[in-house]
Amino acid sequence: MSGKIIFIVAIVLVLVVAYVCVRLIQRRQERQWLLTANNLVRPILRELHLQPVAGQPVDRVWGRSLALVSYKTPATTATSVGTIRAAFASQDDKLLQLTDVWIRDGYVHLDVALMLNMATKGYVRDLHRLS
């Protein structure tokens, strides 16, 4: 009987270690995506005379492996959704896609996708189909 218990405990420990390793890799990847997105979005925000802020990952809401980042920055009187969309559309790096933008309660809200993997590309493709 004790041999079965030791075997079950060993299996559980292996599964826990595997889960922890996978989560560490996912977190490292998420931090890298966030750093890349911040480095691409901040110059665009400066160009629009908006405060450059750090983004927050969105993938906890939509699922794993989506390179999505959300930004919230104070709006200026000259800020419009059209000028923001134009600024993102004119940037050379096609790695970054603006997926949503809105202005509410004096803040500009931006959602961007880093086109790094098939899951994110599929998500953005589905968004374009819906709109």
What are 21-30's pLDDT values in tens digits? 998 988 888 8
Which backbone phi and psi does 4 adopt, to 5 degrees? -65, -40
- Banded model confidence at residue 65, pLDDT cuts 50, 70, 90: confident
Which residue segment(s) compose the domain that 30 sits in?
Answer: 2-130
Q: What is the pLDDT of residue 59?
A: 63
Domain count, the chain: 1
Distance from the Cα of residue 4 to its chain's centroid:
44
Q: Where are the alpha helices (DSSP H) in the chain?
A: 2-47, 59-62, 81-90, 118-130
CA-to-CA distance for 113 and 33, rounded, in angstroms?
A: 10
- pTM score, two decimals? 0.79
Instruction: Find out whether 98 and 92 touch, Cβ atoms under 8 Å.
Output: no
